[in-house]
Amino acid sequence: MTTLKPVYLQKVKQQNMADILQKIWEHESISRVELVELTGLTSGTITNLTQELLQTGLIRESETSSGSVGRKRVMLKLRTDRYTIIGLDIGRTSFEVVLADLAGRMIKSVEGNTVGIRDPEQVLDLVAPHLESLKTDAADKKSPVIGLGVSIPGPMDKKTGKLLSPPNFPGWEGYPIQSALERRFGLNVFIEDDARTSALAERWYGLGRKAQDLLFVTMGMGIGGGVVAKGELVVGSNGLYGQVGHITLLPGGEICACGNEGCWETVGSIPGILRRWSEGNTIDGFFQAVREGDPAAVQCMQETLYYLECALTTLFNTYDPEVIVLGGKLYPYLTMHLSEIRSRVKARMYAFVRDRLHIESATFGASQNAVGAVALVFGALLNEPLQTLAGPKT
């Protein structure tokens, strides 16, 4: 007995299966005939592959049908309750762990505080019992956890699995987070920075569900960006693609922690705004003052919006997305200005694309990062279904 392992055919099969799964997700509900048309595969192949997906429990048949004469189409849907995903958002001063179904809907969520804790191991010690409890919950419901998605405040070196130097996130630099988590929890671990997970939350569960090119801009203690092009996350040659907070907005301006001068982040982030207004105050205080009509605050607010307008125009011209999504801790304060931002940016774009760009608010509010962490795993599942279900390689 020879044991052949023809990977090439399995790759084709996986690819076709992934294609089918993604089309099912994109259309919510779709019949086999439509899959034949959309994928270009033959009906026999569709039968085989959907059968296998049915067996894994990733999809189910839904009674629906259509047409006037002839046999009715059996609609196929993604089965969102058979497996679960755990999302972990590690922030600078807090964390959130969520158990979610495949549609990104939260089943359970736990938040915690990490103020003052600088040692990554200690943070994980805090997170561990909650995470284990979610794992148990999932096991009780017979909906196995297929992976752990993690959102962190700064980029990670893909080669070493170690964290790079995110500003305002001391203690974590060089920490081998991927292997640590895999060892601790025995799960398939996927990690990305918060801007990117946020972008993925939109790509799979939010505004970008059908959009192939989107940019997520997160404004908070820093300003970050996540770019999805042709449906795929873009990370760049050093993992620094989309550092949108570090575009030079004010030549000759303040020196930024990144080394550049006049970065948007130096004026547009929460610390940036406070530095421009009155050091030592809080962002709540600032927006309170704006509401009360304090002239200096109002002036500073107008500048902030103007910087945002300039930055978004620049980013449209560099990334050409279908959607720009705005989020982050600062954004809730700006939501009321969305339509103004929208019209001001569009006024500065090429006329013929003005109505093709959408500028929107993030879909998942304070849980954007956690949902994004879940989306990170979901994306892996939809790109490599069988492999992802198989779990961590030994």
Contacting positions for DNA (CB under 7 A):
1-10, 12-13, 16, 31-33, 40-51, 65, 67-74
- Can you tell me whether residue 193 is helix, strand or coil? strand
Find the shortest distance in angstroms from Cβ 46 to DNA: 7
- Can you tell me whether residue 247 is helix, strand or coil? coil
Q: Binding of a second copy at residue 311 (CB under 8 A)?
A: yes
Residue whose CB is less far from a second copy, 108 or 162: 162
Q: Taking the alpha carbons of 68, 72, 73, 77 in that order, is the dihedral positive or negative?
A: positive
Residue whose CB is less far from a second copy, 72 or 356: 356
Residue 133 corresponds to which amino acid? S
Q: Binding of a second copy at residue 356 (CB under 8 A)?
A: yes
353 binds, among a second copy, DNA, none (CB under 5 to 8 A by kind): a second copy
Identify which range of 46-54, 82-90, 236-244, 280-288 contacts a second copy by CB under 8 A. 236-244
Site string for a second copy, 191-230 (x = CB under 8 A): --------------------xxx---------------x-
Find the shortest distance in angstroms from Cβ 250 to a second copy: 7
Instruction: Retrieve residue 356's tokens.
Output: 């093709």
Q: Do 320 and 213 contact (CB within 8 A), yes or no?
A: yes
Q: Binding of a second copy at residue 33 (CB under 8 A)?
A: no
Q: Binding of a second copy at residue 16 (CB under 8 A)?
A: yes
| Residue choice 22, 133, 248, 387 for contact with a second copy (CB under 8 A) | 248
Q: How would you class 237 by CB atoms within 10 Å of its CB: exposed for 0-12, middle for 13-18, buried for 19 or more?
A: exposed
| Residue choice 259, 280, 293, 295 for contact with a second copy (CB under 8 A) | 259
Find the shortest distance in angstroms from Cβ 37 to DNA: 10
Find the shortest distance in angstroms from Cβ 166 to DNA: 41
Least Cα distance to 124 among 168, 188, 164, 178 occurs for 178
Residues in CB range of 37: below 8 A, 6 or more apart? none
- Helices marked H in the chain — which ranges? 7-27, 32-39, 43-56, 120-140, 177-185, 194-205, 264-268, 270-277, 283-291, 295-319, 338-347, 368-383, 385-390
Q: Binding of a second copy at residue 40 (CB under 8 A)?
A: yes
Instruction: Retrieve residue 33's tokens.
Output: 């005939």
Question: What single-letter DSSP state applies at residue 212?
Answer: S
Q: Binding of a second copy at residue 240 (CB under 8 A)?
A: yes
Site string for a second copy, 319-338 (x = CB under 8 A): xxxx----------------
296 binds, among a second copy, DNA, none (CB under 5 to 8 A by kind): none
Distance (Å) of CA 277 to CA 282, 292, 296, 305 = 10, 15, 7, 14
Long-range Cβ contact pairs of 274-280 (< 8 A, separation 24 or more)? 276/300, 276/303
Find the shortest distance in angstroms from Cβ 337 to a second copy: 17
Residues in CB range of 216: below 8 A, 6 or more apart? 195, 196, 198, 199, 202, 225, 226, 227, 228, 324, 325, 327, 362
178 binds, among a second copy, DNA, none (CB under 5 to 8 A by kind): none
Find the shortest distance in angstroms from Cβ 381 to DNA: 18
| 149-178 residues near a second copy, rule: CB under 8 A | 164-165
- Interface residue list for a second copy (CB under 8 A): 7-9, 11-12, 16, 40-41, 164-165, 211-213, 229, 234-244, 246-251, 258-262, 306-307, 310-311, 313-315, 317-322, 347-353, 356
